[in-house]
Structure 1
Amino acid sequence: MPSILRVDPPRTTNFQSDDDRLFVKSVGRAMLVLSAFHHASGPLSLTNVAKNAGIDRSAAQRLIHTLLKLGYIRRSADDHGYLPGFRLLDHTLDLLRLDPVVQKATPVLLELRKTIRERVDFSLYDETRLIYAFRIQSKRETFYATLVGHSVPTPCTAGGRAALSALPDTEAQEIVKRSTIPEYTAQTETDPEKIMALVRQARSDGFALVVNEFVQGEVAIGVAVTNRDGLPLGAIHVAGSLSEWTPKDFVDQAAPVTLEAARAINGSL
């Protein structure tokens, strides 16, 4: 699978103009250090942290020492580098338990999973990407498919296209053009105009359908969760195996209950 999608921080240590007196640059640099792990495949050395963060080695050393003391960075088991610290999970929990959309969606999604008995995910909309905030797995999973916080390009998934369908056409098109669109499979649609046609189809149907595009052998539908103005907050994803479902049978079975779940969440917000 392509690299995990992340929003990179500004590639500068200045961040803001000098007249922004409320902005604390040292905090910004600390966030750069934590962001240095976004694309890492293992522990990072001090030199690699500095390089990835775009700061000098001396500043990186001081910031790593501070974050290490606070538990936001830890030494790797072999003591050959650094990894994110466990304290970061405390903040992940805070985000999920306090987010009003996740709060309202969770009980509805649990009931949906009992009904459909296939993988059910819920993602939060962040323009060019969706961030998975809730995942209930089925019997066919990969490591990344189990991780909360994993993010994917909005135009590449059923949930993302459903979210885009809740936007005006011009705004959805602008987001598609700004998005990274990797070829997850040989059938991944990467042409912006064809993606927009699929977004318009999702707007007409009320859900988006993806077959063999994001995961080979998988069929998935996505339905947008929206605010009171009808703008996307996130999306429900339901996915099944093509060895067990035809796309038509999956839509017939999954689309009505997923649309009902989305209406229940939307009505509670």
Structure 2
Amino acid sequence: MLRTTTRAESGLREVTDAQKSDTLFVRSVEKAMSVLAAFHHADGPLSLGEIAQRTGTDRSAAQRMVHTLRTLGYIERDPQGNGFLPGIRILDHTLDALRLNPLVRFATPVLLELRKSVRERVDLSLFDDLRVLYALRLQTKRENFYATLVGHSVPTFCSSGGWAIMSKLPDEQVRDILERSDRAPFTPHTMTDIDEILQNVEETREKGYSLVLGQILSGEIVAGFPVLNAQGEPVGAIHIAGSMSEWSSDDYINHVVPLGLEAARAISYY
């Protein structure tokens, strides 16, 4: 079955029993964060019972956590009275994460100029193991609501940024990422075969950029460019997304690739 979700899961977020038994690990903080994480795949307000089920706690414990988080402004009642929603104070932390991230701060003016030049959507994603997480989304003429939001993520195995990032990783690490990914398709064109993906990662390594056609959204053409830190490790990627109804592959490459490579070089080794 094809997927339409725009939130992928990272493979590095499972806390082990050994980590939980550490004397420095605070279980109450874990529980509070699990309540906030319960909304990750919600399509609307959650009832107290749904929050308890998603967090694996009993209703009484969930009620205490929700009450505390409501008091602090991190959860609020749905105006229609249908349950609970994340509160606006969470946005304070989103702002902090973006404004204090050195790559986001350094990349923003470069990507604003890139968007003016290519006149297509420009995104900056951050590498998070099995997924890439959008930290900047600079829109153009045709976008839907979800394409405007930071925080959305897509799997590393089938995204332009993911291929660009994997092209800068050792082969054994790339294979490990692919084997741990669920590799469920988003469109009929999504590559799910490991050997086929590895071949495209190798081509990306040789060219210095990736090009994906309809991997996550049908009819979308996206070029990806790896972004490296001071140690030469891939930490993110630039994505430039256009429509296959407006561009041939060759024309798109000629239009965006030189500018994308230049931008990636400008913000790498920050």
Asked whether the two chains share a fold, i.e. TM above 0.5, the reply is yes
Greater RCO, CA 8 A, separation 6+? 2
Are residues 1:2 and 2:9 paired?
A: no
Shift in Å at residue 7 of structure 1? Answer: 4.2
Are residues 1:114 and 2:111 paired?
A: no
Asked whether the equivalents of residues 130 and 152 of structure 1 are also in contact (C-alpha less than 8 Å), the reply is yes
Shift in Å at residue 4 of structure 1? Answer: 2.3
What amino acid does structure 1 have at the position aligned with 2:211? L
Q: Does the residue aligned with 1:234 lie in a helix, a strand or coil?
A: strand
Asked whether the equivalents of residues 122 and 238 of structure 2 are also in contact (C-alpha less than 8 Å), the reply is yes
Pair 1:250–1:39, CA change in 2 (3 A): same
Paired with 2:63 and 2:126, the residues of 1 have a C-alpha distance of 34
Shift in Å at residue 15 of structure 1? Answer: 7.6
What amino acid does structure 2 have at the position aligned with 1:225? V
After superposition, residues 15-30 of structure 1 pair within 5 angstroms as 16-18=19-21, 20-30=22-32
After superposition, residues 104-253 of structure 1 pair within 5 angstroms as 104-253=106-255
**Structure 1 residue corresponding to 2:73, chosen from 36, 49, 71:** 71
Name the structure 2 match of 1:103: 105
TM-score (norm 2): 0.94
Gaps of 5+ in 1: none
Asked whether the equivalents of residues 164 and 172 of structure 1 are also in contact (C-alpha less than 8 Å), the reply is yes
Paired with 1:90 and 1:7, the residues of 2 have a C-alpha distance of 23
Q: Does the residue aligned with 1:210 lie in a helix, a strand or coil?
A: strand
What amino acid does structure 1 have at the position aligned with 2:199? A
TM-score (norm 1): 0.95
Matched residues, percent identical?
53
Paired with 2:105 and 2:79, the residues of 1 have a C-alpha distance of 36
Alignment deviations for residues 77-108 of structure 1 (CA, whole Å, 9 cap, x no partner): 11120011111111001000000010111011
Q: In angstroms, what is the RMSD of aligned CA positions?
A: 1.6
Gaps of 5+ in 2: none
Q: Does the residue aligned with 1:105 lie in a helix, a strand or coil?
A: helix
Asked whether the equivalents of residues 15 and 25 of structure 1 are also in contact (C-alpha less than 8 Å), the reply is no
Paired with 1:197 and 1:240, the residues of 2 have a C-alpha distance of 23
